[in-house]
Amino acid sequence: MPLDPPAMKVGVISDTHGLLRPEAIAALLGCDGIIHAGDIGSAHILDQLAAIAPVHGVRGNNDLDAPWARELPDCLRLDLNGWKVLLVHDIADLAIHPDERIDLVITGHSHKPGIEWRGERLFLNPGSAGRRRFKLPVTLALLDLSAQSIEPRLVSLLD
């Protein structure tokens, strides 16, 4: 009988807009992987994140014209510990075929953090980890993924 893969911790960050706060770096230390949901702002952000753990990311609307972001996809499908993940910056661009199994949808763009189960599918927006916008919180998310469960939590980066 095959063994289940070991549990993994994944950091989810979005809307850094060229600013990677020390608080975000501290929160992501110890992660097995990092997902950036777009509006990265600079290749330097991806380099800093890659120094912590392997990074997967998509372009956001503010990254579209940046030469460094040309190789980044607009949408990315991942398999994390057997969970099927769809990553897209803006939920308005979400396209899931009715027969496609997607367990976790990760988006950014709105700067509004949220964790919502819709049936068997988890929708996660880590919020914005960059500059504060309006009075929205500055956050990222952490995921604990085992073969049996996805456990998301939001992490506030500023008081």
Selection from 2, 12, 14, 56 nearest residue 144 by Cα: 12
Low-confidence spans in the chain with pLDDT less than 50: none
Cα 25 from Cα 101, distance rounded (Å):
32
Q: What pLDDT score does 95 carry? A: 86
- Sorted by where each starts, the structural domains of the chain and their CATH numbers stand as 8-156 (3.60.21.10)
Residue tagged 């604990």 (tokens): 144
Q: Are 10 and 32 in contact (CB under 8 A)?
A: yes
Longest dimension (CA), the chain: 53
pLDDT of residue 78: 97
Residue 27: strand, helix, or coil: helix
Structure-block tokens of residue 59: 């372009």
pTM of the shown model = 0.95
Looking at residue 2, what is its pLDDT?
62
